[in-house]
Amino acid sequence: MADTDNNPTPVKPGDILCRLEEMTEAESRVFLLQFDDGEEVEFFIVRRGGAVHAYLNNCPHEDRWLQWEGDSFLTPEGGTILCQAHGATFDIESGQPLTGPALYSGCLTRVPIEIAAGEVRLAPR
């Protein structure tokens, strides 16, 4: 994958990612999922309406991170997820490619999360 200047927050399965009320509409945040066996993988969450969606930080077009830096996973107007490498866009709610070179490469890979009592939590493994 491409090298970026990310600074993701490390989390483990079952951890609380944030309170739902802390996220504004069409805000995205990146995390580093760390498993007990040492495996690590980046993912991000994005809020759309009352829901939060989570996907691996991996573009199906060329197996790259989606963003250049930080928490910037969305188009400027916030309507879709954007891969900064070649400009592919993805639907926030389904992860399906909408435009660009990822159209025939498949969807973003969803990461299981749970929302309960106003908390957004990574699902236990």
Shortest spacing between CB 97 and ligand FES, in angstroms: 9
Q: What are phi and psi of 21, to 5 degrees?
A: -70, -15
Provide CB contacts within 8 A for 49, sequence distance 6+: 25
Count how many residues are written for the chain.
Answer: 125
Q: Is 82 in the site for ligand FES (CB under 6 A)?
A: no
CB of 68 to ligand FES, least distance (A): 12
CA distance 9 to 16: 11
Contact positions with ligand FES (CB under 6 A) in 22-81: 59, 61-62, 64
Name the residues that contact ligand FES, by CB under 6 A: 59, 61-62, 64, 83, 85-86, 88, 100-102
